[in-house]
Structure 1
Amino acid sequence: MCKDQIITQTIEFVKQTLADAEGGHDWFHIYRVWKTAKKLAVSEKVDLFIVELGALLHDIADSKFHDGDEEVGPRMAREFLSSLLVDQDSIQHVVEIIKNISFKGGKERQKFKSLELDVVQDADRMDALGAIGIARTFNYGGHKNRAIYDPAILPNLNMSKEEYKNSTAPTINHFYEKLLLLKDRMNTKAGIAMAEKRHVFMEQYLEEFYKEWEGKY
């Protein structure tokens, strides 16, 4: 099976697997990350096949929806790619991307590094920024029945990995605990430039949010 056929088969697999997924982690999230990753890859010396597979499979089984089990996604990706007879080196690279792509509260050190991971990670983080990032954040907060905002509950910027995973804080806190930190954690030049614009939009949104919250106009 040629690489184009493998990508096509992977797209269909992801669409079917995520058919009933939460709106911020569904096929359309994957689609946006995949498209952004391909755009970022243009200016990087990467293996586009690995970038595409990593982007398409990076959230095939997000641990948030599997009782915190971080092995489900890598295992599913390995089994699927093996069924298509993808070479083992490529499979292992994709698995490492899936294992290392997540934010995980900001304190967790990345245990694997590659240019392909840099590109896919930037693309995934881009989908947590700007208008899309805001929409996804409130969608997930609603999914978890969290408060929108509570002035008495301040953001926690020093959470451990477990505290981050188990947080039930209001949705607005997530902007400070993750989203507004991403601009300075991008890997590629193109990613840094793209993130800057989306970051500014989020700052403007929050300014507007607080004014409306206090009924200033």
Structure 2
Amino acid sequence: MTLIHWQSRFENWLHETWPQDDKAHDVAHLRRVWQTAQRIMAAHDVDELVVLTACYFHDVVNLPKNHPERHLASAQAAAETRRILLTVFPDFPQEKFDAVAHAVHAHSFSAGVAAETLEAKIVQDADRLESLGAIGLARVFYVSGALGRPMFDSVDPLGRARPLNDTEWALDHFQKKLLTLPQTMQTAEGRQMAEHNASFLVTYMAKLCAELKGDFCSLDEEVLREFSAINEKY
């Protein structure tokens, strides 16, 4: 069976069975992760079916960002993926179960599980790229809005005179996590894309800070210099 057939079967099952109330983690997200993974793995010799399957099931157990067991979600997703493949897709090669489960378990930032296979590294990179660039910008404010968090501190948007707290302010998440993602990338292709898209977030920060000062036609050059240098250091 071709990858396209497996992809179609996975998507059909997910659309029919999997709740998609969280639009930052819906089938469209899974499809984008797979699209990005294909770009990364083009230069590598990997098991494409393992990567495809992990991309489509890595969020099959998806706990909210503020859930106390959020760090356990990927382990639960790995176990649930095994169950689904065994019961719903009995023709899926069982010798690939371990590789798929590991890639699902290791994808999570909060779980802190080391990716030990190239397939797992590619899935991890592809998923983290969803947190950067224009898509990442949209997703971070979507999730923060769903959790009832303010977009930013209008008085001190970059946390110059206060501790950063991304459970309080959405924009703080840029410094707490998003701008650090390029240094966590496992592949050269993933890192290159992450650095490019992190630069987009820095530009957004500079535009926001300029607007908060009443300048709607420029970027805050101080913000650009500071955070572009940080991004380059990573």
Tell me the TM-score range normalised by the shorter chain. 0.7 to 0.9
Cα distance change of structure 1 residues 73 and 17 upon mapping to structure 2, 3 Å threshold? farther
> Comparing 13-22 with 175-184, which one deviates more in the overlay?
13-22
Q: Indicate the residue corresponding to 1:59 in structure 2.
A: 59
Structure 2 counterpart of 1:132, from 117, 132, 135: 135
Cα 1:90–1:38 change in 2 (3 A) is: same
Cα pair 1:154 1:173 within 8 Å, conserved? no
CA distance, structure 2, for counterparts of residue 96 and residue 134 of structure 1 = 28
Change in 2 beyond 3 A, CA 1:184/1:44? same
**What's the TM-score once normalised by structure 2's chain length?**
0.79
1:171-192 Cα offsets, whole Å, 9 max, x none, are 0011111110111111111112
Question: Is contact 1:33–1:127 with CA below 8 Å preserved after alignment?
Answer: yes
Aligned equivalents of 1:190 and 1:15: distance in 2?
31
- Cα displacement (A) at 1:111: 4.1
Partner of 1:163: none
Q: In the alignment, is the contact (CA less than 8 A) between 2:20 and 2:27 conserved in 1?
A: no
Is this contact kept in 2: 1:119–1:188, CA < 8 A? Answer: yes
Give the residue type in structure 2 aligned to 1:118: K
Which residue is 1:159 aligned to? none
Q: Any idea what the Cα deviations from partners look like across 1:129-165, whole Å, max 9, x if unmatched? A: 0010000000000000001112365325xxxxxxxxx
Moved more, 18-27 or 133-142: 18-27
Code of the aligned partner of 2:167: T
1:168 aligned counterpart, secondary structure:
coil
Q: Which residue of 2 aligns with 1:160?
A: none
Please list, as runs of the form range in 1=range in 2, the aligned pairs for 1:39-118 lying within 5 A after superposition.
39-64=39-64, 68=69, 69-70=72-73, 71-83=75-87, 84-85=89-90, 86-104=92-110, 109-118=112-121
Match of 1:123 among 117, 121, 126: 126
After TM superposition, the runs of 4+ consecutive aligned structure 1 residues lying more than 4 A away are none
Runs of 5+ unmatched residues, structure 1: 157-166
In 1, Cα distance between equivalents of 2:94 and 2:6? 14
Bigger RCO of structures 1 and 2 (CA < 8 A, at least 6 apart): 1
How much has 1:6 moved relative to structure 2?
3.3
What's the secondary structure of 2:64's corresponding residue? helix
CA distance in 2, matches of 1:182, 1:211: 25
Q: Give the TM-score of the pair, scaled to structure 1.
A: 0.84
Match for residue 21 of structure 1?
21
RMSD: 2.1
Q: Which has the larger radius of gyration?
A: 2
5+ residue gaps, structure 2, are: 217-234
**Residues 201 and 111 of structure 1: CA distance in aligned 2, closer, same or farther (over 3 Å):** closer
Equivalent pairs: percent with the same residue?
29
Instruction: Provide the rounded CA distance (Å) in 1 between the counterparts of 2:116 and 2:85.
Output: 21
